[in-house]
Chains A and B, each alone.
Chain A
Amino acid sequence: MSEFFQQLINGLAIGAIYALIALGYTMVYGILRFINFAHGDVFMLGAFAGYFLSPVVNRFLPAQSYAGGAVVLVLAMAICALIGMLIEFLAYRPLRNRPKLTVLITAIGVSLFIEYTCQHDAVFKAAPRKFPELIPFTNWHLGGLVLNTNQVIVFVTTMLLLVALTVVVQKTKVGTAMRAVSFNEQAAALMGVNINRIISFTFGLGSALAAAGGILFAMNYASIDPLMGVQTGLKAFVAAVLGGIGNLPGAALGGLLLGVVETFAGGIPGLSNYRDGIAFGVLILILLFRPAGLLGKLQTEKV
């Protein structure tokens, strides 16, 4: 029984990270109707931002402190928000009125560009690096369960970010504008909404969440490299489709669910070798049996 809960905790921890990344895929899809395949690379850049920021922040704040960790997280999110907005501005905005396939292929190009630039010796190099310990590490034993600080931080940070995102999207003017643009761009423009600004904001928001995911991932898996966004990014994309692409609660649910399923399946003897393939099995099943995703619904419009 305790093993069950242990697996559940492990699954939810990785699932929370998928959820953070999946939100960015789904937000961009909601507004521009394409998959930003470079999003997984922003997740990677978030982890690297944390790697390089940590020693700088430690000059002002003690190493392995919660304050220091929080500052690293917030700065990395801000940097990646800017990177995300820059990607949109340079690569996608010029193609705004082109066929979606053109944009999709461009996204793959942007992704490859980031991955191979970052692997260059003058940039991050291809070899994995050890991620610094941002916060004091402790193992907690609860009954038969082991829970470490990094896992707790994943849950706490993800919860806070999900609440913040919900408030932004549901309660603020810019969030209402995001929902309006995603429903009907022309109508939103007629209200005086500067569409480009809302799209830019959406990329910034999604990229900040991906950066948070990158830091949390690196804290738990200790090793980072320029290709770390490939597989995790694809899985988060599956999570977004699982929850219903374009649907925010769906992305969060899809991420958590995928993390749990993957972790449990990985624990089954004989299946553990296929752990990383499970996400794609889930994708195929979803596309076959519930293409709109768990929470997605086919929208009908009244005329």
Chain B
Amino acid sequence: MLEVKSLQVSYGAINALDGISLSVKPGAIVTLIGSNGAGKTTTLKAISGLLRTQAGSIAYDGQDITNLPPHQIVKLGISHVPEGRMIFANLTVHENLMMGAYLQKDRHVIHGELELVFATFPRLKERGKQIAGTLSGGEQQMLAIGRALMGKPKFLMLDEPSLGLAPLLVKTIFEKIVEINHQHGITILLVEQNANLAFEISQYGYVLETGRIILQNESKLLRQNPQVRSAYLGA
């Protein structure tokens, strides 16, 4: 579904990604872990077109999408829930969700998506008229994911959805991610620092360190890898 090859991205003189390759199969949950500054966010931003790449290629469903503008990439069915959620704090919850369906013209389809999002996150339905900036952190994360789902994506990228949430809420969010993958058939690329949970729900994983992929394997095997255990699982 997604095929990244020898991707290189730099911020001025700083090389943030030094030729990384990864692939995501349709229907899978794939995780990308790594410590602070490893380049996880940079990877997702390059895929969704927010950052330009210096070298390498990104293909989606066999189509080359390297350096396309973000609005064209969204159109292909790729949705990106950015780090720090980036909800529109000045808009209502409902307006945020409608922004998620920006490219969708058919009212019936929008309405159907809205029902699906409300089924997944009932809390959002109660808060429709509330200004999004006044939602709690957990609700904001639900809104960020719900907003991304409004675009009817086939491929969803999540950047640290557990960031700043209480453990119980993190569990809920991860359950929702699995639900989205199973019930909606959406392929997921999950960036996390919480490696434990990420390996639990994913089938395959990549470990990123200072702009390079240092390890990749099935998640259940990565969990047993001594190097991963000491560096990321606190064992």
Contact = CB atoms under 8 A, between A and B. Distances in A.
Contacts of B164: 303
24 contacts: A176-B91, A176-B98, A177-B102, A179-B95, A180-B99, A182-B90, A184-B86, A186-B50, A187-B86, A187-B87, A189-B70, A189-B71, A190-B48, A191-B100, A192-B70, A192-B71, A192-B75, A193-B99, A194-B69, A194-B71, A195-B71, A302-B133, A302-B140, A303-B84
From DSSP, what is the main secondary structure of chain A's interface residues?
helix
B211 interface: no
Interface in A83-97: none
A195 B74 CA distance: 13
From DSSP, what is the main secondary structure of chain B's interface residues?
loop
A139 to B, nearest CB: 45
Interface of B: 48-50, 69-71, 74-75, 79-80, 82, 84, 86-91, 95, 98-100, 102-103, 133, 135, 137, 140, 147, 151, 164
A180 B88 contact: yes
Interface of A: 173, 176-177, 179-180, 182-184, 186-195, 299, 301-303
A183 B88 contact: yes
A207 B84 CA distance: 35
Given A187-B88, A189-B70, A301-B89, 4 more contacts: A180-B91, A184-B88, A189-B69, A190-B82
Contact of B80 (A182, A190, A195, A299): A190
A190 B48 CA distance: 7
Nearest to A188: B99
A299 B89 CA distance: 10
B91 A191 contact: no
Contacts of B133: 301-302
A136 to B, nearest CB: 44
A186 B159 CA distance: 14
B98 to A, nearest CB: 7
A187 B71 CA distance: 11
A182 B87 CA distance: 12
A182 B89 CA distance: 11
A193 B89 contact: no
Contacts of B50: 186, 189-190
B76 to A, nearest CB: 10
B72 to A, nearest CB: 9
B91 A190 contact: no
Given A180-B88, A301-B89, A302-B133, A192 B103 contact: yes
